[in-house]
Structure 1
Amino acid sequence: MFLVTGATGGLGRRIVQLLRERDMSVRSFVRLTSRYSELEQRGSQIFIGDLQQDKDLQKACQGVQYIISAHGSGGNAQGLDYRANIELIDQAKAAGVQHFVFISVLGVDRGYEDAPVFKAKREVEKYLQASGLNYTILRPSGFASNLLPLAERFRQTGVYLLIGDPKSRTSIVSTDDLAKIAIDSVNIEEAKNQIFSVGGSDILQRQDIPRIFGRIFNKEPIVINPPLLVFDGVRSALGLFNPNAQNALGTLRTLLDNEFFCTRDQVERLESTFKITMESLESYLRRYFGS
């Protein structure tokens, strides 16, 4: 039995789908207000709970052998990225869970002080490593599935908003590949108690993304490229009314101002360990949009 948190998110949903395609038992941790009927129809157990309630985490972990923590922060890095994962690790240990897979983020170890999500995930990594549980920590760059709404908007308008340096490098990972790696981590000896940087097959510049959209949809991209100073101005103005929102935007500011890509050696380590050929962003998008 797998327990998957964040089961209705882009990654979590794909993990549950793949587990059910393999006819494996899975319990999806979901909120009552989320859209989980498809997961139930696929044969997943549905556990309706609150990740910030210790009793819910305790109940969800009962009878579970493997946990994949794939939930995001929803703007609450302290409560969800940090506190919920710490408690989930404690409950996993108490329940005798055999392996804990934690979805972290690429660059988490660089010490970004202005990025609450990065700080929270790094502290969870350290806690998991010291917990005594068998673990695998995955540090993905951007998820390909997060670009689907942008691609759909581009298909309709031909416009792409690119904030900051268009030459910043990234290696966006296929969400399908990441889901497969997360699941396979629990059975591959070489993945036990290891940390992996996870990226796609190509190192792209951010300006390559609208070009890929243009090739897929046969449109000449209209790229709007405001400097980071514009984002900083909006963030500062927001801080006058909502300091918490200003702080939360620190993570986005970090993502916009830095490069997040895997080296070829890191990708080769992934491919060798998990017997997988990492997919390119363009291949993923073409599969999704059927072009």
Structure 2
Amino acid sequence: MFLVTGATGGLGSRIVRRLRQQEKDVRGFVRLTSRYSELESRGVNIFIGDLERDKDIYKACQGVKYVISSHGSGGKPQAVEYRANIDLIDAAKEAGVEHFVFTSVLGVDRGYEDSPVFKAKREVEKYLQNSGLNYTILRPSAFASSLLPLAERFKQTGIYLLIGDPQNRTSVVSTDDVARIAIDSVFVESAKNKVLSVGGPEIITRGDIPQIFSRIFNRDPIVINPPLFLFDGLRSTIGVLNSDVERSLGTLRTLLANEFFCTPEEITNLEMMFDMKMESLESFLRRYLGA
């Protein structure tokens, strides 16, 4: 039995579907308010709970062999990104779980103090490494699925909003590839007790993304490129009214201001370890957009 948290999310739903395609037993941890009927129809064992309740977490881990933590912060990095994962690790250890896969983020070890999410994920990494559990920590770059709404908007308007330096590099990764690696990590011996950077096969600039959209939809892009200091000004103004929102925007600023890409050597290592070929961003988008 696999327990997957964030089972209705962009990554979690793909993990769950792939596991069911492989006829694996899956327990999906979901909220009562989430849309989980599609997963239920695939034969997923639905566990309705709250990641802010340790009792729910401990109950969900009963009878589980593998745990894949793929939930996001939900706007609560301290409670959901940090505390819930700590409780999940403790519950997994108590339940005798054989392998724990944690989805972190590329660059989490760089000390970005402005990002509550990066800080929380880094502390969870360290806790997991010292827990005594067998683990795999995945540090993916930006998920390709996060660009699908932007692509649909571009299709309608031709407009692409790019805040900050368009020359910042990234290696956007197929969310389906991350799902496959998350699952296979529990079976591939060389992935045991490893921290793996996970990115797409190409290093591109953020300015390349609207050009990819342009090729897919055969229309010229209208790129709106406000400088980062305008974002900072807006964030400071918001902070006067709501300091919590200002702090939460620190993660977005971290993502906008820095480069997140994997080296060719890291990608080659992944492809060899998991016997796969990483999918390019353009291939992913064309597959999902039917273009």
Counterpart amino acid of residue 258 in structure 1: N
Q: Partner of 1:111 in structure 2?
A: 111
Cα distance in 1 for partners of 2:34, 2:157 equals 29
Residues 61-210 of structure 1 mapped to structure 2, 5 A cutoff: 61-210=61-210
C-alpha RMSD of the superposition: 0.4
Counterpart amino acid of residue 209 in structure 2: I
TM value normalised by structure 2: 1.00
Cα distance in 2 for partners of 1:134, 1:90 equals 13
Residue 143 of structure 1: how far off its partner (Å): 0.3
Deviation string 1:207-258 (CA, Å, 9 cap, x unpaired) is 0000001100111000000000110011001001110000010011000000
Q: Partner of 1:5 in structure 2?
A: 5
Q: Partner of 2:36 in structure 1?
A: 36
Question: SS where residue 46 of structure 2 aligns?
Answer: strand
Aligned residues: 291
Residue 185 of structure 1: how far off its partner (Å): 0.2
Q: Does 1:242 align with 2:242?
A: yes
Cα distance in 1 for partners of 2:179, 2:242 equals 36
Counterpart amino acid of residue 83 in structure 2: R
Counterpart amino acid of residue 45 in structure 1: N
Q: Partner of 1:289 in structure 2?
A: 289
Residue 130 of structure 1: how far off its partner (Å): 0.2
Q: Partner of 1:58 in structure 2?
A: 58
Residue 290 of structure 1: how far off its partner (Å): 1.4
Cα distance in 1 for partners of 2:264, 2:177 equals 16
TM value normalised by structure 1: 1.00
Counterpart amino acid of residue 203 in structure 1: I
Counterpart amino acid of residue 54 in structure 2: D
Counterpart amino acid of residue 165 in structure 1: D
Counterpart amino acid of residue 279 in structure 1: E
Cα distance in 2 for partners of 1:254, 1:237 equals 18
Question: SS where residue 226 of structure 1 aligns?
Answer: coil
Cα distance in 1 for partners of 2:101, 2:222 equals 40
Cα distance in 2 for partners of 1:141, 1:117 equals 14
**5+ residue gaps, structure 2:** none
Identity of aligned residues (%): 71
**5+ residue gaps, structure 1:** none
Residue 75 of structure 1: how far off its partner (Å): 1.2
Residue 74 of structure 1: how far off its partner (Å): 1.2
Cα distance in 2 for partners of 1:41, 1:242 equals 42
Question: SS where residue 52 of structure 1 aligns?
Answer: coil
Q: Partner of 1:46 in structure 2?
A: 46
